[in-house]
Amino acid sequence: MLYMVEMIVQIPQSLDPELAAKIKLDEKEYSQKLQRQGQWRHLWRVVGEYANVSIFDASSNDELHTLLSGLPLFPYMQIKVTPLANHPSSIVQE
Amino acid sequence: MLYMVEMIVQIPQSLDPELAAKIKLDEKEYSQKLQRQGQWRHLWRVVGEYANVSIFDASSNDELHTLLSGLPLFPYMQIKVTPLANHPSSIVQE
Amino acid sequence: MLYMVEMIVQIPQSLDPELAAKIKLDEKEYSQKLQRQGQWRHLWRVVGEYANVSIFDASSNDELHTLLSGLPLFPYMQIKVTPLANHPSSIVQE
Amino acid sequence: MLYMVEMIVQIPQSLDPELAAKIKLDEKEYSQKLQRQGQWRHLWRVVGEYANVSIFDASSNDELHTLLSGLPLFPYMQIKVTPLANHPSSIVQE
Amino acid sequence: MLYMVEMIVQIPQSLDPELAAKIKLDEKEYSQKLQRQGQWRHLWRVVGEYANVSIFDASSNDELHTLLSGLPLFPYMQIKVTPLANHPSSIVQE
Amino acid sequence: MLYMVEMIVQIPQSLDPELAAKIKLDEKEYSQKLQRQGQWRHLWRVVGEYANVSIFDASSNDELHTLLSGLPLFPYMQIKVTPLANHPSSIVQE
Amino acid sequence: MLYMVEMIVQIPQSLDPELAAKIKLDEKEYSQKLQRQGQWRHLWRVVGEYANVSIFDASSNDELHTLLSGLPLFPYMQIKVTPLANHPSSIVQE
Amino acid sequence: MLYMVEMIVQIPQSLDPELAAKIKLDEKEYSQKLQRQGQWRHLWRVVGEYANVSIFDASSNDELHTLLSGLPLFPYMQIKVTPLANHPSSIVQE
Amino acid sequence: MLYMVEMIVQIPQSLDPELAAKIKLDEKEYSQKLQRQGQWRHLWRVVGEYANVSIFDASSNDELHTLLSGLPLFPYMQIKVTPLANHPSSIVQE
Amino acid sequence: MLYMVEMIVQIPQSLDPELAAKIKLDEKEYSQKLQRQGQWRHLWRVVGEYANVSIFDASSNDELHTLLSGLPLFPYMQIKVTPLANHPSSIVQE
């Protein structure tokens, strides 16, 4: 079951730079683990912004919230979730 | 080169129903041709709305505009285009 | 799996009054069928507006879209869907 | 008498972590007390956000304000209240 | 129990002028009846707009919705309701 | 001459709590003085928010600005003023 | 007493062109009468829009509403009123 | 003196197609005349929209308004004007 | 050539009070110099806000930007500029 | 391939003034290098704002993101990108 997830990252200037670097590293690792597991199906950068557009595949709303609230950058993100359905004109079922 | 394209369809009540049906049929055919050609990479329905989220692959901004303005439903759509770039945490290049 | 669904009804003045009355009757019947089946868990009127706030229970995004796009008033509605998850402070699992 | 209450939590980074933890614990306790008393009828997490959608049952606007302004997290919340009425198509009176 | 009610009137140009005049007359009569009954406590014109700001006194959300949806101009209005509570600095209880 | 005044209070976390308490006390006193003088005709709390809706009676725009900019909480408020006129359907002149 | 008044004109395509021309002529005459009387102090076109920014001088909110609702184009305008006060840095009292 | 001008075209469905075609042809001719005269410095299509971003060069606000209000499509456009100044980091004066 | 300029002042709480007082004094002096030179034609306070509406007269966009960016409060202001043109119904050319 | 890029600069008051001056100098140098290379085709100041409107020429979305995220002021900017296409009425291909 697919969801579009739009994430905007806003790290406060007051955050310790070393801690920030550590969180970003954790974020990358976490993100790639979910991608390899097939739960984070697509991840694109929005041109010119510290933001991304993603497609998630989760078995339920609860599972999706668990995945998103587990993001190391979650406290510094503004997230918008849009549930997606199969489109009758799509040539694939995804 | 990828773009997120969000389309909202607003067919006026005054449009002749037969003509509307014809346009929707043409739209489906046109959409599926672009999908088979790999230019319309993903097409999802936004749950609860007469709207879709799509990912297009075009070699230039001009090509993308040609594809979108050729949509049979183009005169009845509100379209928003977001250019996408490769994300450094993505495990694939797409 | 729960979703908040907010519906605003906008029936155009040009719609034939008899047809409008027929559609509203069908809407009521359809709504009550889904309520009895447990898929439309709550239905409240927004005070002062021709609008409602609803809680739907569906097994997937696709099922929810099927339920909503089947609403007789669907062509005259503006709908916004918010996926819900269990809240850690809730004393019930719903 | 029912109200939809939407709460977005925004705890400033500058708040002492121990104090923040204490406030969240108090919030949970306060919330569960109101749920057991039947005043906080439903509490759902908005997927991907530090926010909730709730349904409150209060005997008056004044009572509702007393309940909400008593929330331990009240100083850190953005709250929107929507009064609800019985819907003529609802199969229950709630 | 008090509510602020903001009403914006938008009568479509296509409405028959005689019918429009009749509805406005009914509206005035209905409004004055509710004012005399003490349910429509205040009614002010917003300067420069075909709109008003009102204070209603109703015993419940349901009663308020019944009053508002009974307005002869209801189908041509955009209405926003804000529930009000007693303010701790107010020198009167109203 | 009446005005609707909507005030949202946003006291920064960094303000000294004793000073904040002093300012709020001054605000209450100032507000009650204006109420007793008939210049602050109504004062209501917006349910669930640190905000109020007020009706002011001032002899001119200048006088109203003097009253509002004299509020002890003025530096911490977001204020919106709407000039009101007599409504032709109102049964009183106020 | 001064007010900034912003007017956006939206004449529907369906209005009879002769009638529209007549209304615009009346509007011009009405506007110039108020200007000569000193009530419509300034009138500027917003570049690129069928809109204006105006400064009105009225002795009360009621008088301003009477002036504005008397505009021949009033039914086809969207109007926003901002009450103005003397500025402490202004070298004139106006 | 340069201005960014953003134009969105909204031709109503009810406009006679032949008349619409004539207006578009006139628009093109008018636009190209201004381009050749150096007053319409740049003209770009916004990808996916019936809209453009333009750079105009005019000797005054009045001249710009004359140019824009002379557009054959002016009655069917939503226009936003942003005055531009020389940027201190620009390597050219334009 | 006239422009409407809307300025909202937001001085951060963290600014040294003496420095803030000095900047406001400089602002007043600067403002009055421009008024005496005829470049700052009108200056009004928006009732209830730390904001003003102004009319500037400048010979070019560049000159206007120089005047505005020279404001001592410029780093603490949110500014919106609207270019104005002569209105065909105005009885004066200004 | 052209893009309109709108940049708003928001340097926090807490940033060390010497560091800020250094970043602005780097920004200017970086900007002029891209202008000389033909990638930053136009750069204009928005009158009255610490903001600019720019036209970029990049061979791909990825290249544009690399250019923009390399801006020394990037962490302090809000950026909006609009992809542009050739306009059929333009007398040049740019």
Q: Which residues contact J23 (CB under 8 A, 6 or more apart)?
A: J72, J73, J76
C-alpha dihedral sign at F73, F75, F77, F80 = positive
Radius of gyration of chain H, Cα coordinates, nearest whole angstrom = 14
Per-residue confidence (pLDDT) for residue F14, from 0 to 100: 87
The minimal CB distance from J62 to the residues B62, B64, B86 is found for B86
Whether residue I94 is predicted with pLDDT greater than 90 in this model: the reply is no
Whether residue G9 is predicted with pLDDT greater than 90 in this model: the reply is yes
Chains that touch H (3 or more CB pairs under 8 A): B, G, I, J
pLDDT one-digit tens code per residue, I5-22 = 999 999 998 899 999 999
Per-residue confidence (pLDDT) for residue D38, from 0 to 100: 98
Chains that touch D (3 or more CB pairs under 8 A): A, C, E, F
Chain E residues 53-72 within an 8 A CB cutoff of chain F? 53, 55
Whether residue G13 is predicted with pLDDT greater than 90 in this model: the reply is no
pLDDT one-digit tens code per residue, A2-31 = 999 999 999 998 899 999 999 999 999 999
E84 touches chain F (CB under 8 A): yes
Task: Give yes or no for a contact between J29 and J40, defined as CB atoms under 8 angstroms apart.
Answer: no
Per-residue confidence (pLDDT) for residue F19, from 0 to 100: 96
- Min Cα separation C49/chain E (Å): 6
Question: Is it the case that chain G and chain F have 3 or more CB pairs lying under 8 Å apart?
Answer: yes
Q: Which residues contact J15 (CB under 8 A, 6 or more apart)?
A: A13, J76
pLDDT band at G93 (very low <50, low <70, confident <90, very high): confident
The minimal CB distance from B64 to the residues H13, H14, H47 is found for H47
Chains that touch F (3 or more CB pairs under 8 A): D, E, G, I
- Min Cα separation D1/chain E (Å): 7
Whether residues D3 and E65 touch (CB distance < 8 A) is answered with no
F86 touches chain E (CB under 8 A): yes
The conformation of residue E13, written as its DSSP 8-state character, comes to T
Per-residue confidence (pLDDT) for residue C14, from 0 to 100: 87
E48 touches chain G (CB under 8 A): yes
Chains that touch J (3 or more CB pairs under 8 A): A, B, H, I
Q: Which of G1, G8, G27, G43 should one mutate to test binding to chain I, selecting the residue with the greatest count of I CBs within 10 A?
A: G43
The minimal CB distance from D48 to the residues A12, A15, A79 is found for A79
Mean pLDDT for chain E? 97
Burial class (CB in 10 A: 0-12, 13-18, 19+), A58: buried
Task: Give yes or no for a contact between I91 and H11, defined as CB atoms under 8 angstroms apart.
Answer: no
The minimal CB distance from E65 to the residues C13, C14, C45 is found for C45
Whether residues J64 and A48 touch (CB distance < 8 A) is answered with yes
Whether residue H32 is predicted with pLDDT greater than 90 in this model: the reply is yes
Whether residues C48 and E64 touch (CB distance < 8 A) is answered with yes
Query: Which residues in chain B show pLDDT less than 50?
Result: none
Query: If we measure between CA atoms, which residue out of A31, G40, C56 comes closest to residue I94?
Result: G40
Roughly how many angstroms between the first and final C-alpha of chain H, as a whole number?
A: 8
Whether residue E94 is predicted with pLDDT greater than 90 in this model: the reply is no
Burial class (CB in 10 A: 0-12, 13-18, 19+), J11: middle
Mean pLDDT for chain C? 97
Grouping H, G, I as helix, E, B as strand and the rest as coil, residue H73 is coil
Per-residue confidence (pLDDT) for residue J48, from 0 to 100: 98
Per-residue confidence (pLDDT) for residue A93, from 0 to 100: 85
Grouping H, G, I as helix, E, B as strand and the rest as coil, residue C15 is coil
Pull the structure tokens for residue B11: 């067919």
pLDDT band at J35 (very low <50, low <70, confident <90, very high): very high
Write out the DSSP string of F27-77.
Answer: HHHHHHHHHHTTSEEEEEEETTSSEEEEEEE-SSHHHHHHHHHT-TTGGGE
Q: Could you give the CA distance from residue H59 to residue H36 in angstroms, rounded to a whole number?
A: 16
pLDDT one-digit tens code per residue, I36-81 = 999 999 999 999 999 999 999 999 999 999 999 999 999 999 999 9
User: In percent, how much of chain I has pLDDT > 90?
Assistant: 96
Mean pLDDT for chain I? 97
Which residues face A4 on adjacent strands? Answer: A55, A82
Question: Is it the case that chain J and chain B have 3 or more CB pairs lying under 8 Å apart?
Answer: yes
Per-residue confidence (pLDDT) for residue A14, from 0 to 100: 87
Q: What is this structure's pTM?
A: 0.97
Per-residue confidence (pLDDT) for residue F26, from 0 to 100: 98
Query: Could you tell me the fold of the domain covering H2-83?
Result: Alpha-Beta Plaits (3.30.70)
Per-residue confidence (pLDDT) for residue F22, from 0 to 100: 98
Per-residue confidence (pLDDT) for residue C93, from 0 to 100: 85
Query: If we measure between CA atoms, which residue out of A33, A34, A53 comes closest to residue A43?
Result: A53
What is the rounded average pLDDT of the residues H80-88?
A: 98
pLDDT band at J14 (very low <50, low <70, confident <90, very high): confident
- Which residues in chain F are contacts of G64 at CB distance < 8 A? 83, 85
Q: Which of I13, I15, I47, I50 should one mutate to test binding to chain F, selecting the residue with the greatest count of F CBs within 10 A?
A: I47
Per-residue confidence (pLDDT) for residue D18, from 0 to 100: 97
Per-residue confidence (pLDDT) for residue B94, from 0 to 100: 80
Q: Could you give the CA distance from residue I10 to residue I75 in angstroms, rounded to a whole number?
A: 9
Q: Could you give the CA distance from residue A19 to residue A11 in angstroms, rounded to a whole number?
A: 11
Q: Could you give the CA distance from residue G46 to residue G78 in angstroms, rounded to a whole number?
A: 14
- Which residues in chain B are contacts of J93 at CB distance < 8 A? none
Provide φ and ψ at I89, rounded to 5°: -95, -5
Give the Cα-Cα-Cα angle B36, B38, B41 (nearest 5 degrees). 105
Other beta carbons within 10 angstroms of residue B74's beta carbon come to 17
Chain centre distance of CA A93: 22
Q: Could you give the CA distance from residue H82 to residue H69 in angstroms, rounded to a whole number?
A: 16
Per-residue confidence (pLDDT) for residue I93, from 0 to 100: 85
Task: Give yes or no for a contact between G77 and G27, defined as CB atoms under 8 angstroms apart.
Answer: no
Whether residue C45 is predicted with pLDDT greater than 90 in this model: the reply is yes
Query: CA neighbours within 13 Å on the CB side: how many for F55?
Result: 16
Whether residues G47 and H80 touch (CB distance < 8 A) is answered with no
Query: If we measure between CA atoms, which residue out of F14, J85, C69, D54 comes closest to residue H48?
Result: J85
Longest dimension (CA), chain G: 49
The conformation of residue J6, written as its DSSP 8-state character, comes to E
The minimal CB distance from A91 to the residues B2, B35, B87 is found for B35
Give the Cα-Cα-Cα angle G52, G57, G63 (nearest 5 degrees). 100
Distances (CA, A) of E77 to D36, E51, G14: 40, 9, 22
Per-residue confidence (pLDDT) for residue B79, from 0 to 100: 98
- Min Cα separation C74/chain A (Å): 17
pLDDT band at E7 (very low <50, low <70, confident <90, very high): very high
Provide φ and ψ at I33, rounded to 5°: -65, -45
Per-residue confidence (pLDDT) for residue J13, from 0 to 100: 85
pLDDT band at I92 (very low <50, low <70, confident <90, very high): very high
Whether residue I34 is predicted with pLDDT greater than 90 in this model: the reply is yes
pLDDT band at C76 (very low <50, low <70, confident <90, very high): very high
What is the rounded average pLDDT of the residues F72-91?
A: 98
What is the rounded average pLDDT of the residues A52-60?
A: 98
Q: Could you give the CA distance from residue I78 to residue I10 in angstroms, rounded to a whole number?
A: 8
Whether residue F94 is predicted with pLDDT greater than 90 in this model: the reply is no
What is the rounded average pLDDT of the residues C65-71?
A: 98
- Min Cα separation B22/chain H (Å): 17
Whether residues E79 and C48 touch (CB distance < 8 A) is answered with yes
Residue of C nearest to E13 (CA): C13
The minimal CB distance from E89 to the residues F31, F85, F91 is found for F31
pLDDT one-digit tens code per residue, E12-27 = 988 999 999 999 999 9
- Min Cα separation H63/chain I (Å): 8
A48 touches chain J (CB under 8 A): yes
Which residues face E79 on adjacent strands? Answer: E7
Mean pLDDT for chain G? 97
Per-residue confidence (pLDDT) for residue I82, from 0 to 100: 98
Mean pLDDT for chain F? 97
Query: Which residues in chain D show pLDDT less than 50?
Result: none
Other beta carbons within 10 angstroms of residue J70's beta carbon come to 10
Can you tell me the ipTM of this complex? 0.96
Whether residues F80 and I48 touch (CB distance < 8 A) is answered with yes
Residue of E nearest to C46 (CA): E65
User: In percent, how much of chain H has pLDDT > 70?
Assistant: 100
Grouping H, G, I as helix, E, B as strand and the rest as coil, residue I82 is strand
Strands J2-9 and F2-9: unpaired
